[in-house]
């Protein structure tokens, strides 16, 4: 079999199917299976990311307790361990108990023919995964066995991640659908950034998220290790960095090695980030002389962009960095090392006469030039240690050497500019999962969208992307609920062919992968019930918990940076308990998603609003139950908050009713701009007055109000322009 | 204030109240509080274990964000850390954000008067807690502040564990009820044994359970580290012990030190157990020459009592033990070291001519004498290392030196015998939480019950007790659900005065402490939902999950060792996935408990059975829903099991109906012994046919059938004898 066509970056793809409806191939030689295997079950597969190419066949491979596997080709114990992990997961999910050897291992078959799972790995991957390694594989599942072939260990790992998602069941038992699959990634850099600095995330959080990443074929863990709010890694050369900068919450170097090994075992690279020269308060708590203004400094406890910045004119800074980065370069085997470089507000530099003098002396022009000077010095240090530099948008400067990689957080323009300037680039703009957008919005972002204007060479420099889990509002209990399952949609965008983009099908499959993530120990579903019990309190009854659960299908945390803004005066932000309504609530609340989908045709195509009317009825009932349970006093100190939310939901239903009535009324005269603005104002007041949670359905209602108010002018617009026009009216003051 | 009266073992108690109804002291000088503080709220306190003495007052200490504390007396940073842990828990529970210093610490008040929490600790405890240390404390909560006084750091920790349970809320906010409390433990050895050997339990399981232990004032973690199925501790002197005996699943010595420090921080001792000479298969995998029969050996994967036993006639055994126990004695600071000693079946010794010759030569009489010889040799090694020996019942032998401690797993007789023989003793019989008995049964077991016949001296040798979490059927996901909350009831038995024994009140408070345990991260409640989702499968609807949840209020795992017996042929037991119905189900299922309570007066006092009839109706409805959901096929491979359970429940309802009808019928002639035995047979068949789960309500029905059948003879019996008589009839073949 020739893999070369789908190798490497995987852009040369064969037989990519649009719309994911996987065809049923009737003419195979496979045996027909029992009648319970319905056509609808095989219509699409419950897997994520979708593969490049798949054909399902009639029939199934039944999983029996007498399961054995066989590996041919390269010997690699990582494969045995990955098989053992996979089979144990299947056992725990299914209740099956697979055969064991006397030593307690899963059984290796005598030969490939006798094996339920035959794995053929052409060559063992290096001990540490490398950017650009071949991750392709093929799966051939017949009634007799699964054959998984891959050119590398990495490909085998990716194939096993697919295989475990294919395991399904019906009344008769557990099985895999017969199929033929070829698969390879679209992009080679598919990352998840975890900010362990703003809120500390201990090693078990990292490990379980590595398990999740492996399941959806992400291959880069980007650890954001330093921030104003914490220096989260042990330095043996400069121990005051972590000792004074972390409240004692940091990774030891031994733990880092453990993380790297755990990741490598799953085919995942670990790229560390040490953010400089800004975002550096925690550095200068222990070493105040490195800052650009006199100390002393304390760990920052709030969120935002702060002044402390390293002093690029101070040779002591480079002495520390030579030692520290040397130490880190030895600790982290990956050739890429991220130096941050973002959001330096320049205030300390501007206020420091000595620094300004230095800029003039060295002809650096301005603070930007000084930043570039600093980066060149950093680059020297990294090169001496055999590392390539990665940094955020702001490092882009004409003087930046071409082998520096730019990670774009500010948008497509920055990405294109960096790529045109000759840099490899990674996209993160659009993948900021901390901002609580629905999965469909992230899913729509393609690092290389159809119709982009980059040359082939420039396109080749787009390595991929990274979801970014910034940690202002996540602790170890809630972080999984912000990462998953939405990051699986981003993983699919980065792995699957560009043509895989049906949002409804993505959401359908997201529900499956969410369950698989739940089963392997991610906390995104299970964190909520204990937190809800605590929120509701000792006196709450089942009915109270039930209505709060209903509420959480309608309510979401506020989006963007609104929670920062709302909480800025509450006290030291880092210590705010993450156990309130915005923590219980999550992105993509189910009823919210359903409402947006039902509203879409009503807004843009004058569809039938009966589903919306039913939703208003539902809201009214939920609102009444919330009021009752708040009035009962059983929710103790939460009663006031719940009453107010209930009140808002009731008003939302009233406003919704008014907007839909207007949409159906024949007279448009009374529903002009003034009416629309009044609706928008009422919605802002009533769906946004709880400062940190919102009812996103209000957005659909705003759009509908805009559509009603502009209905007479619809003829003037093409469909896309009409959509844009309504959005502009519905969200007039929307700031980014 | 004089603490001497309640010092030490704490048996001298003042003003112990029976029945837990805490009196309201009206005549205090405290200010009256707002009208929302009702009398009923203060009637009993939601805490466990109950203190020796408490008086509640009108009024409350309101918790405000401006919280500060002050420590007087001995300086001990453990107290600051314990306060920080406690306050953080309160923050996460309440959503309050307490003030912080610029360094991010909770605020220390300028003086005692200004503090919301004043802690007076007379003397800092030793770094490692010791048996017999003073753990007493007093709490004085007024509207102004809490004053916590204790003679030792340990007492402060116990007082904080009470304080955090006293925090409650109503509509107006968070507060503590005003009260005066004196408290001290009944027994000084209050332990939890965790078997980390049969199923491996990683360090995070241990840590969260230490948190739970601290909350309910348990003070000994007994780590059962070696078993036939695993050698779970790193040995540097004999690394083949853990390398070949553990599948790689063991505590490193560094982790052990981490556990000891974590425990000490919470006032908990760590006593290690190395089980010898039996239960030793995992020892001899790496060192087969130490066994009493030729090897090779493999790690045992099944449950039971196995033959491999160390050879006491082999000097190499003592060489290894000298090195290994020396190593362990240095690692574990506690003066007590447990050498197991239980369940040596003697087969290898009997079959070995050389060993039998040794017994004759040394005049050891028999295998028992050889075991005593082995123990003497062990004792020498321990004494050389400054350790005291602890072992199970079987080590009791006339030659056993008096300073060896006997842990009784076989019963009150063994406990008394060992105490009379001059040994200190610990009770575990009756506290076997792995056997899935309801909490009330463990709660009824007192190491020193009223009316015991021990002399004062013998009584003084009863140090306390230990709950034992044997790990045949628990993994890291389920172990908390077997330990908690029932172990809190055992903790109360060991801490609180003997007179605290009202079961209904125990259960009422157990619900509160269960929530507090949930809040600090124990998994006993939260483990179930994810497992239920997996059990129900991808196609399950909310209604399916709902009825399965209902089922789990009625169903429990089988008791005693029945699961071992039922599963003995299923394959290597250690690998059976612990994700099935008996894992989902737990002890003390709520509806089961309610049914038993409702049945009690009907059985023994001819009470009104209307509640029972209502239960049968409920069972019928649940059964019908189970059948429906099984028939739908949505439960996939679980459909058959669920259908069968539904069928059993329906039949249980029919039988119940028949028994209650008989109880109400005026004719007793048709309901004699034959009828009763037929009912019992039907119940055995229909409530016990799922081999690993059962409907415990069947037991109440058996008793009721027995009562009906013997009704004409009731006059012949005194009440207690009548009860005993019915039990004998209802459970005729009941084996221990």
Task: Write the ipTM.
Answer: 0.92
A261 interfacial to chain B (CB closer than 8 Å)? no
Contact B530 A530 (CB under 8 A): no
Q: What percent of chain B has pLDDT over 70?
A: 93
* Alpha-carbon span A94 to A592, nearest angstrom: 33
Contact B575 A95 (CB under 8 A): no
* Alpha-carbon span A488 to A510, nearest angstrom: 7
For residue A34, what pLDDT band results from cuts at 50, 70 and 90?
A: very low
Looking at residue B732, its pLDDT comes to 86
pLDDT by residue (tens digit) across A384-402? Answer: 999 999 999 989 988 888 8
Chain-centroid distance of CA B508 in Å reads 17
Looking at residue A507, its pLDDT comes to 96
SS3 state at A298: coil
Which tokens belong to B4?
């001497």
Looking at residue A551, its pLDDT comes to 97
* Alpha-carbon span A198 to A386, nearest angstrom: 29
> Cβ neighbours of residue B735 under 8 Å, at least 6 residues apart?
none
pLDDT above 80: residue A11: no
Of A298, A577, A636, the CB nearest to B103: A298
Looking at residue B13, its pLDDT comes to 30
- Chain A residues within an 8 Å CB radius of B169: 537-538, 636-637
Instruction: Please provide residue A269's backbone torsions phi and psi, each rounded to the nearest 5 degrees.
Output: -80, 155
Q: What is the CA radius of gyration of chain A?
A: 27
Strands (DSSP E) found in A479-638: 556-557
Looking at residue A668, its pLDDT comes to 61
Q: Bin A164: left if φ > 0, else alpha if -120 < ψ < 50, else beta.
A: alpha
Looking at residue B666, its pLDDT comes to 62
**Residues of B involved in catalysis:** 343
CA terminus-to-terminus distance, chain B = 50
Residue A69, strand partner residues: A108, A117
pLDDT above 50: residue A226: yes
* Alpha-carbon span B579 to B587, nearest angstrom: 16
- A576 to chain B: nearest residue by CA? B97
Nearest to A604 by CA among A496, A728, A683, A706: A706
pLDDT above 50: residue A330: yes
Alpha helices in B385-438 (DSSP H): 412-420
Looking at residue A650, its pLDDT comes to 96
> Cβ neighbours of residue B439 under 8 Å, at least 6 residues apart?
B485, B486, B489, B506, B507, B510, B587, B588
SS3 state at B221: strand
- B104 to chain A: nearest residue by CA? A301
3-state helix, strand, coil in chain A (%, to 5): 45, 15, 40
Nearest to A64 by CA among A93, A94, A35: A94
A636 interfacial to chain B (CB closer than 8 Å)? yes
- A89 to chain B: nearest residue by CA? B577
Instruction: Please provide residue B548's backbone torsions phi and psi, each rounded to the nearest 5 degrees.
Output: -65, -40
Which tokens belong to A241?
């960095």
- Chain A residues within an 8 Å CB radius of B576: 97
Q: What is the DSSP letter of B691?
A: T
The tokens 């007493």 sit on which residue?
Answer: B136
Measured between alpha carbons, how far is residue A333 from residues A190, A261, A265, A379 in Å? 18, 10, 14, 17
Nearest to A144 by CA among A36, A25, A40, A29: A29
Of B530, B579, B639, the CB nearest to A171: B639
* Alpha-carbon span B652 to B612, nearest angstrom: 12
Environment class of residue A585 by beta-carbon count within 10 Å: exposed (0-12), middle (13-18) or buried (19+)?
buried
Strands A68-73, A117-123: pairing kind: parallel
> Cβ neighbours of residue A103 under 8 Å, at least 6 residues apart?
B298, B299
**Residues of A involved in catalysis:** 343
Between CA B512 and CA B518, with CA B515 as vertex, the angle to 5 degrees is 155
Average pLDDT over residues A236-256: 98
Average pLDDT over residues A242-264: 98
- Chain A residues within an 8 Å CB radius of B65: 571
For residue A688, what pLDDT band results from cuts at 50, 70 and 90?
A: low
Contact A162, A51 (CB under 8 A): yes
Contact A46 B538 (CB under 8 A): yes
Looking at residue A503, its pLDDT comes to 95
The tokens 């920052």 sit on which residue?
Answer: A300
Average pLDDT over residues A701-724: 93
- Chain A segment 658-687 residues within 8 A of B by beta carbon are none
Model confidence, pTM: 0.93
SS3 state at A29: coil
Looking at residue B2, its pLDDT comes to 30
Of A204, A518, A530, the CB nearest to B518: A530
Q: A618-653: b or e for each residue (b if 16 or more CB lie within 10 Å)? A: bbbebbebbbebbeeebbbbbbebbbebbbbbbbbb
A64 interfacial to chain B (CB closer than 8 Å)? no
Q: What is the DSSP letter of A193?
A: E
Contact B575 A104 (CB under 8 A): yes
Contact A100 B301 (CB under 8 A): yes
The tokens 């496979």 sit on which residue?
Answer: A30
The tokens 């019950």 sit on which residue?
Answer: B449
Q: Bin A447: left if φ > 0, else alpha if -120 < ψ < 50, else beta.
A: alpha
Nearest to B553 by CA among B528, B574, B576, B570: B528
Nearest to B191 by CA among B514, B447, B439, B511: B447
Environment class of residue A597 by beta-carbon count within 10 Å: exposed (0-12), middle (13-18) or buried (19+)?
middle
Q: How many helices (H) and strands (E) does chain A have?
A: 27, 21
Q: What is the DSSP letter of A210?
A: H
Q: What percent of chain A has pLDDT over 70?
A: 93
pLDDT by residue (tens digit) across A154-197? Answer: 999 999 999 999 999 999 999 999 999 999 999 999 999 999 99
* Alpha-carbon span B498 to B256, nearest angstrom: 35
SS3 state at A117: strand
For residue A666, what pLDDT band results from cuts at 50, 70 and 90?
A: low
**Could you check whether the bond before residue A296 is cis, i.e. omega within 30 degrees of 0?**
yes
Q: In chain B, which residues have pLDDT < 50?
A: 1-43, 735-736
Instruction: Please provide residue A227's backbone torsions phi and psi, each rounded to the nearest 5 degrees.
Output: -160, 170
A553 interfacial to chain B (CB closer than 8 Å)? no
pLDDT above 60: residue A42: no
* Alpha-carbon span A496 to A186, nearest angstrom: 6
In a 13 Å sphere around the CA of B164, the CA atoms on its Cβ side amount to: 30
pLDDT by residue (tens digit) across B18-68? Answer: 333 333 333 332 333 322 223 233 347 999 999 999 999 999 999 999 999
Which tokens belong to B658?
């028949």
* Alpha-carbon span B341 to B326, nearest angstrom: 19
Q: What is the DSSP letter of B335?
A: S
The tokens 């939302």 sit on which residue?
Answer: A652
* Alpha-carbon span B278 to A481, nearest angstrom: 47
Contact A573, A306 (CB under 8 A): no
Q: Which of B93, B95, B520 to mutate to test the interface with A (most CBs of A within 10 A)?
A: B95
Chain-centroid distance of CA B407 in Å reads 16
Contact B518 A525 (CB under 8 A): no
- Chain A residues within an 8 Å CB radius of B640: 171
Strands B425-427, B405-408: pairing kind: parallel
What H or E segment, with its residue span, contains residue A402? none
Looking at residue B688, its pLDDT comes to 62
> Cβ neighbours of residue A470 under 8 Å, at least 6 residues apart?
A193, A195, A198, A224, A432, A434
Contact B247 A93 (CB under 8 A): no
Looking at residue B24, its pLDDT comes to 33
Contact A533 B512 (CB under 8 A): no
Environment class of residue A672 by beta-carbon count within 10 Å: exposed (0-12), middle (13-18) or buried (19+)?
middle
In this structure, the number of other CB atoms found within 10 A of the CB of residue B588 comes to 19
């Amino acid at each position: 079999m020739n893999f070369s066509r789908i190798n490497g970056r995987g852009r040369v793809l064969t037989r990519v199917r649009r719309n994911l409806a996987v065809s049923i191939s009737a003419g195979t030689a496979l045996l027909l299976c029992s009648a319970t295997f319905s056509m609808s079950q095989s219509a699409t597969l419950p897997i994520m990311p979708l593969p490049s190419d798949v054909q399902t066949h009639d029939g199934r491979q039944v999983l029996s307790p007498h399961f054995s596997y066989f590996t041919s080709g390269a010997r690699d114990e990582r494969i045995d361990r990955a098989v053992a992990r996979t089979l144990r997961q299947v056992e725990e999910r299914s209740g099956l108990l697979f055969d064991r050897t006397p030593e307690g291992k899963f059984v290796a078959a005598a030969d490939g023919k006798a094996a339920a799972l035959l794995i053929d790995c052409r060559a063992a991957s290096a001990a540490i995964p490398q950017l650009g390694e071949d991750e392709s594989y093929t799966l051939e599942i017949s009634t007799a066995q699964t054959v998984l072939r891959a050119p590398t260990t990495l490909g085998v790992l990716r194939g096993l991640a697919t295989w475990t998602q294919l395991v399904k069941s019906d009344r008769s038992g557990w099985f895999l659908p017969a199929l033929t699959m070829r698969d390879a990634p679209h992009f080679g850099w598919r990352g998840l950034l975890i900010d362990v600095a703003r809120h500390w995330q201990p090693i078990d959080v990292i490990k379980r998220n590595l398990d999740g990443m492996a399941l959806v074929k992400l291959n880069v863990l980007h650890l954001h290790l330093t921030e104003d709010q914490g220096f989260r890694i042990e330095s043996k050369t400069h121990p005051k960095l972590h000792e004074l900068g972390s409240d004692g919450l940091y990774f030891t170097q031994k733990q880092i090695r453990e993380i790297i090994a755990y990741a490598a075992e799953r085919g995942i690279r670990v790229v560390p980030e040490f953010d400089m020269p800004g975002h550096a308060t925690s550095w200068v708590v222990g070493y105040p002389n490195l800052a650009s203004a006199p100390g002393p400094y304390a760990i920052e406890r709030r969120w935002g962009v702060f002044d402390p910045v390293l002093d690029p004119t101070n040779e002591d800074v480079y002495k520390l960095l030579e030692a520290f980065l040397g130490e880190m370069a030895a600790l982290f085997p990956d050739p890429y090392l991220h130096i941050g470089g973002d959001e330096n507000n320049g205030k300390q530099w501007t206020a420091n006469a000595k620094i300004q003098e230095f800029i003039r002396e060295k002809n650096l022009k301005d603070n930007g030039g000084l930043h570039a000077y600093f980066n060149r010095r950093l680059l020297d240090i990294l090169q001496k240690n055999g590392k390539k530099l990665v940094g955020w948008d702001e490092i882009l400067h004409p003087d930046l050497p071409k082998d520096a990689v730019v990670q774009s957080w500010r948008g497509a323009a920055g990405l294109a500019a960096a790529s045109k300037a000759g840099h490899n680039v990674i996209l993160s703009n659009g993948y900021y999962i901390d901002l609580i957008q629905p999965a469909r919005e992230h899913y729509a972002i393609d690092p290389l969208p159809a119709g982009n204007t980059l040359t082939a060479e420039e396109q080749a420099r787009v390595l991929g992307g990274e979801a970014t889990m910034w940690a202002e509002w996540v602790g170890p209990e809630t972080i999984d609920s912000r990462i998953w399952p939405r990051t699986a949609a981003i993983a699919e965008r980065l792995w699957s062919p560009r043509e895989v983009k049906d949002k409804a099908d993505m959401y359908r499959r997201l529900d499956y992968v969410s369950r698989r993530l739940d089963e392997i120990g991610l906390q995104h579903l299970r964190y909520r019930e204990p937190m809800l019990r605590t929120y509701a309190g000792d006196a709450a009854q089942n009915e109270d918990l039930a209505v709060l659960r209903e509420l959480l299908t309608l309510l979401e945390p506020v989006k963007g940076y609104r929670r920062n803004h709302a909480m800025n005066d509450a006290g030291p932000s880092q210590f705010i308990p993450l156990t309130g309504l915005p923590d219980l609530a999550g992105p993509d609340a189910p009823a919210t998603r359903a409402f947006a989908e039902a509203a879409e045709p009503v807004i843009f195509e004058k569809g039938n609003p009966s589903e919306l009317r039913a939703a208003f009825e539902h809201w009214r009932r939920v609102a009444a139950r919330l009021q009752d349970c708040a009035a009962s006093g059983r929710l103790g100190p939460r009663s006031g908050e719940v009453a107010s939310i209930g009140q808002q939901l009731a008003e939302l239903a009233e406003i919704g009713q008014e907007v839909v009535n207007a949409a159906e009324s024949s007279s448009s005269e009374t529903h002009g701009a003034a009416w629309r603005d009044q609706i928008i104002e009422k919605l802002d007041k009533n769906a946004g007055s709880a400062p940190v949670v919102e009812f996103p359905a209000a957005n659909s209602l705003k759009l509908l109000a805009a559509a009603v108010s502009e209905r007479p002018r619809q003829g003037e617009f093409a469909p896309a322009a009409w959509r844009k026009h309504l959005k502009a009216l519905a969200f007039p003051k929307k700031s980014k």
